[in-house]
Structures are given as structure tokens and as C-alpha cells.
Structure 1
Amino acid sequence: MSTQFQINDPSLESQWRSLILFGKNSATYKFAFAKSLIHLIDNQTTSISLADLAVPFAGHIVNHLKASDKQGSSQSSKFLNSCRAFINNELSQDQLYRDTEKYGFVNVIDAFQNVNGGAIPNVFYEKNFAADKKEIIITDSLLKLRDTFQFKNLDQEVEARWKLVETAWSLNVNRNLLEVKYDALDSMLFVQNNFMRRVNITSVRDALNGYQKGKCFYSYQDISIRKGDELNMCAIDHFLPHLHKQYHHNEGANINGVWNLVLTDKRINNNKSARIPEKRFLERLFNRNEFYIESKHPLAETIINQTGTTRAQRIAFLEKQYNLASELAIHKWRPKIELAGSF
């Protein structure tokens, strides 16, 4: 089964991201499982026993529990209780791993590769629980994914999605009132709780990259979100320039809203500066924002709050803001390099 995200894009990167960015979030196990797969496959592993998988899987859950105790919607979980007992020095590490192997993978192995009610076209592993074995066998699809440019971005994308989900749960804020804000100075997304205390969630780059498929918004070249990758490190751009923010504010729009933030190749961004993109890019912005809305997490609610509750309202909002910006700057910009895009 496909999401809108995958239409015209059968790539392995797109299939992986559809699993992480879309689908149900009744627990955060899929994020721990994804990070464990990334860690183990990076070590050239082709078959993974549940005993081996339990080590990084439990480690990721424990680390997140220390920061946010709510890691699932269920009222009770034997696995999470074991993790909590370990954190409180009431359970040994060896027993934690045994409990993880017994309780931690009950649903996640079967469910991880499903989205919209069906399995992705190219599964990344197969389950082998024959005889005394309990392991998963890595397929060529995951091995090929490991060799792509985008593989280096995937761990940070998983972490960003995980933090967004657990933050929404832990703050216990009405979804319709939850507002994820952008701090340009620190390049962070944050929210404020009931006591107006700021809670940093994640890097803007990490949160946005997956929904742009790891591509520059304008040129569709590969971009990176990893520190130290200066050659391909992306920049954060306001699709409609920040320069005239007051004019948009007077018309009820927050130009610093997530709806207007995109990631670009830094050379493309330098060339664009504060100019307005050609109108054809407005459809791409709409599609990117709809990916968030389809994905059901705090950024989805934020974009709905900022741009409209229906598709028609969101289209009209973008048209209005684009036309306003066009009145302030006649000339339109296009990138010097532009590859074929898939959204």
C-alpha cells in the first residue's frame, strides 16, 4: 500500500520514510526498532537474532524513558515496566535484555513494515522464527538502502519524529491548541507547556528533511543534515521572504510558521536570497505541507492551525500569501540547477 508521499516515487528511501513518518503511533517501539536496524546494518550485519536486537532496542527505549516517561498509549506494558525497573536499579541489565527479547518485539516486527494497511513493496527484512531460531533476515533492499546517499540522514530523521511524538504525549496539550514554533537563532523547533515554559523538541533540519525526501526544495539535489558534512549541509529557507513579515502578519499569517520553512542546498539558498520563487513551486509547498498533515503528529496540527482546516482553505491561504508577497516584489526567482522532483 502507498501513501501520497510515495506516489511517483518507488525508491527505497521513500518506502523507509513512509514507515517512519506516517502510520499509527500507539507506541514508540517502531522508532527504537528503526534506529536499531540502522545501527546493526551499518555494522554489516545480514541476520540479526532477537537477543542481539534487544541490546540497542532496549537502550534506545531506556534513553527516551529517562527524558519522557510516556512511550505508548497503553495503560500498562510489561516491557516498559522492565525498562523503568532497570532505570531505578531494580532490574539487572541482563534481565532487561531477556525481558526485551520476550516482550519488546511482540508486535513491532510484524507491524513495522506496514503502512496504510499493507506491507511496503520492498520489505527490508524477513522474520525467521523456525525451530529454535528467533531472528530477522536482512533483505537486499535494506543493504541497498545502506549504500544510498540518504542513509546517513535516516537516524536523525527517526530521532526527530520520535521526539515530536513523545513531546505531544508528555505535554498533554489539546492537539488543536498545540503550536510548534521556530527559533531561527538556534534552528530549533519548540513548544511551550501550560506554565509557558519553553520545551525544545528537535532540530528544524532533522524534522523537515524526511518530508522533503532529503532533497533541496528547489533544485531537488541531495542534501545532508549531518554535522560535519559541510559540502552538502542544507540551509533553512523562508519560502516567502521573511523581509516583509509584517505585511503577512497583518493578513493573519506567521511567516516564521512551519508551513513556510523549507530546506535547501546552501548554494541555491544563497542565490535565492530574499526573492520569491516562481509560482509553480507553490504546489510543491502545498504538497510538502500535506505530507505533514497526513502523518498525524504535532507539526500536522501546527500547519492546520496556521493555514486552514480543509484542503480548500489551505490552498486559498497559500495563494493569498503568495499574491501578497508578489505585490511587494515583482520579479520571480528560479534555481540555476533543477532536477526532476517527485512531489
Structure 2
Amino acid sequence: MTKFYEIEPNLENYWRSIILFGRNVASYKFALAKSLYHLKEQGKTVVTLDQLAYPFSQHICEHLKLVDKQATSNSSKFLDVCRAYNCNQIDQNTLIQKTVQYGFANVIDAFHMVHGQELPQRFFADARKTHGGIILTDEVFQLFDTQHANDLIDETEARWRLVETAWSMNLPKHLVQIEHDDTGILIADNKMRRVNVTSAKAALNGYQKGKCFYCFRPITITSLLDESADVDHFFPHKLRECDAGKPINGVSNLVLACISCNRGHQGKFDLLPSISLLERLHKRNEYLITSHHPLRETLIAQTGFTEPKRQQFLQQAYDCATLTLGASKKWQPLQMAAATF
């Protein structure tokens, strides 16, 4: 997914490439990402594995309390150690010792790899042979000093929740569906049970690179700020009037918009966006599909197995909405910045 960061090659989008498009065979990537933020706050540059082991293992232990399945493999010595700690069977010193022994076997090497390629920017250097740990780069300090650094951490947590929830349902991937419940929460539904997963804003913001879907104005998922994002339905709820089967609350129809575009003066409200924005929605959805489980399976089930089928699905939905809402009632945003997706 090199196009994701090549269109706007900055530190935030390199980071998002790791979180959104890196391999998901275990949750260690997310724990390491959150640990880097923790260590940056302490001002550390050279970090030994002992020092890294504490925040890393704590993040894993906390998520094991939420979802016991934190990897696709059937067994893991490291996860068993974390479970033992959660059950008060071992103390913190033993947890750290075992984390150093088992926890970093693959994640340090794999962290900067996305679809088989190493990213052009690194957030730490592997210094296990020379310093017994890692060395944080200037880039990670710059990254977490940005205005909306907290959004990046929330996005990491949201992605982790999506992945672990899908694993925990222990069903064929195509049976796990992610939907929006109109309260701002994404729900995992496997026809047997529904599970609240995470904030829709945190889950979607990274794919839009922290920009309004319509005008590309910067947005944040932090509430009660001028630039706070709204969750918007690209196709308004009135689309149900022509086809009740359309997944209005499916992730394929959810975008993040600035307040001005969504409900400000001359905002979208329940109007249908212009046809030029349909291709943008398709491109954003293809980012979601490239991100894999569980968003990939959700979008494929909702909109089509192949990219042409998915484009056809959106076009048919658009044609239906045009007939229902009227061809003259189209909304066009004022673009405020260069397109980034």
C-alpha cells in the first residue's frame, strides 16, 4: 500500500501504514507502538529490552483481560506468561524477564515492514547487538510532538480492538461483520452475538489521514474542538426508501467529515454528494480492504468480491439514491486543501 504514504509522505502516514496495513498475526505490533509513545514521554533515546519490556507487557496483559486471543497461532509462550501474570501466578520481575526472553522475537524486525517492504522512515533502530535494545529515532519524537498525536494512539487502540475482536469470534472471516450503531460505536456481528468494538471515529480516521473526507480540512477525533470530526453517512438514510438491503450503517458508507461540511452553513446534512465524490469513497474503501481482517471481509461481503463489483455496487447505490432524492439535489463541498486520498 505504498500509494497511501506516497501521496502525502509524512511521519503520520508512515506510522498509519504500519498500524493499518502491517501484518496481523499477533497483537505485538500494537503493543510496541503504544510502548514507543510511553517511552517518548519519558524522554528516553536508548531503550534496553528490560526497559521496553515493562510497557510492552503491560499493554498485552491489559488486552488479554479484554480478549484472551491475541495471536492467530494456537500457542504462545509469551502470552502464557502474560496470562500467568494476570492470574497472580508470577510477579512483575518475572514477567519482565520472560518478556525479554520471548516477547521480542519477531516484532522488532517486522515493525517497519508493510506488505513485504521496509518503510522509508524508521521510528527506532534495532540495537539489540550493540546496546541490548532499541534506539528511538528523531522521527518518533517529532511524530508524537504533532498537534494530534493523541489521535494516532487512539487509532492504534481502535485497530487493535478490531483485530482482536475478530480473532476472538473464532469463525470464518466472512461471517464477521462490522457495522455502525448510530451512537458512534462500531459493532462486530457474527449472527450469533453482537460485540461493541471501538469508536468509529478512531477506527476510520487513519484511513482518511486525519482529514475531512469532503474538503480535506484537518480534523481530530478529540471531542468538543472546532476541528472535531463527525461520523457521516455518505449515502443518507433515505436510501433505505429505495432498497432496505443497502448497508447504510456498514463501514463502506461511513466517512469522517468536518463540522462545516457535515452540518454547517451550506453543509451536506442529508443530501447526496456529487458524483465526483463516489470515486473517492471507492478509493477509501479499497484502503479498508487492504487493511485486512476484519474490515476486508466486511466490505467484500457488503459490496462485492472484486474491485469492479464493488465499484458497480456503489454506482448502483448512487443511481438509486439519485432517483429517490432527485437529480437536482446534489451537494458539492468546497475543497480546502490538496487531496490526500
Bin for the TM-score computed over the shorter chain: over 0.9
Q: CA deviation at 1:338?
A: 2.4
Q: How far 1:74 moved relative to its partner?
A: 2.1
Instruction: Determine the C-alpha separation between the residues in 1 that align with 2:190 and 2:301.
Output: 17
Amino acid at match of 1:188: I
8 Å CA contact retained: 1:13, 1:150 = no
> CA–CA distance in 1 between the matches of 2:76 and 2:195?
27
Matched, 1:224 2:216: no
What residue identity is the alignment partner of 1:261? L
Partner residue of 1:265? 258
Which of 136, 139, 142 is residue 140 of structure 2 equivalent to? 142
Equivalent in the alignment of 1:318: 314
Match of 2:170 among 147, 172, 177: 172
Cα distance in 2 between the residues matched to 1:167 and 1:51? 30
Tell me the equivalent position of 1:21: 20
Deviation larger for 321-330 or 16-25: 321-330
The answer to whether the 8 A contact 2:209-2:340 is kept is no
Q: Partner letter of residue 294 of structure 2?
A: P
CA contact (8 A) 2:231 2:257 kept: yes
Q: How does 1:291-302 map to 2 (within 5 A)?
A: 291-302=287-298
Give the equivalent residue in structure 2 for 1:303: 299
Displacement of 1:49 in angstroms is 1.8
SS of the aligned residue for 2:177 comes to coil
Provide the rounded CA distance (Å) in 2 between the counterparts of 1:265 and 1:215. Answer: 8
Q: 2:207 aligns with which of 202, 211, 215?
A: 211
Percent identity over the alignment is 47
What secondary structure is seen at the aligned counterpart in 2 of 1:236? Answer: strand
Structure 1, unmatched stretches of 5+, are none
Q: Report the CA distance shift for 1:43/1:222 in structure 2 as closer, same or farther (over 3 A).
A: farther
Q: Is the 1:248–1:254 contact (alpha carbons within 8 Å) kept by the matching residues of 2? A: no
Q: Select 1:188's aligned residue among 185, 190, 193.
A: 185
Equivalent residues in 2 for 1:192-203 (5 A)?
192-193=189-190, 196-203=192-199
Assess if the C-alpha contact under 8 Å between 1:126 and 1:136 holds in 2. Answer: yes
The verdict on how the C-alpha distance between 1:42 and 1:232 changes in structure 2, with shifts beyond 3 A counting, is: farther
Secondary structure of 1:38's partner? helix
- Asked if the contact 2:126–2:134 (Cα under 8 Å) also holds between the matched residues in 1, the reply is yes
CA distance in 2 between partners of 1:123 and 1:64 (Å): 26
Matches within 5 A, 1:66-215: 66-131=65-130, 133-184=131-182, 186-193=183-190, 196-215=192-211
For the residues of structure 2 that align with 1:305 and 1:175, how far apart are their CA atoms?
10
Report the Cα distance in structure 2 between the residues aligned to 1:166 and 1:246, rounded to whole angstroms.
35
Name the aligned partner's letter for residue 100 of structure 2.
E
Shift of 1:152: 1.9
**Which residue among 234, 237, 256 is the counterpart of 1:239?**
234
Corresponding residue pairs, total: 336
Distance (whole Å) between structure 1 residues aligned to residue 284 and residue 274 of structure 2: 16
| Contact residue 61 and residue 83 of structure 1 kept, 8 A | yes
TM-score (structure 2 length as normaliser)? 0.94
Matches of 1:337 and 1:22, distance apart in 2: 27
**What SS class does the counterpart of residue 10 from structure 1 fall into?**
coil
Deviation of 1:4 after TM superposition, in Å, equals 3.5
Q: Distance in 2 between matches of 1:174 and 1:7?
A: 34
How many angstroms apart in 2 are the aligned matches of 1:248 and 1:52? Answer: 56
- Contact 2:19–2:30 (CA<8 Å) still a contact in 1? yes
> Runs in 1 of length 4+ with deviation above 6 angstroms?
none
Q: Is the 8 A contact 1:218 1:338 kept in 2?
A: no
- Aligned equivalents of 2:308, 2:190: Cα separation in 1: 31
Deviations 1:255-310 (A, max 9, x none): 22211110011122111111111211111100110011111111211111111100
Answer yes or no: is 1:61 the counterpart of 2:64.
no
Q: SS of the counterpart of 2:243?
A: helix
Which range moved further: 34-43 or 161-170?
34-43
Amino acid across the alignment from 2:198 = T
Matched letter for residue 231 of structure 2: I
Q: Which amino acid aligns with 2:329?
A: H
Give the one of 277, 280, 291 matched to 1:281: 277
Give the TM-score, by structure 1 length. 0.93
2:242 aligns to what SS in structure 1? helix
Distance 2:196 2:210 in 1: 23
How far 1:6 moved relative to its partner? 2.4
Indicate whether 1:49 and 2:48 are aligned: yes
Secondary structure of residue in 2 paired with 1:262: strand
Unaligned runs of 5+ in 2: none
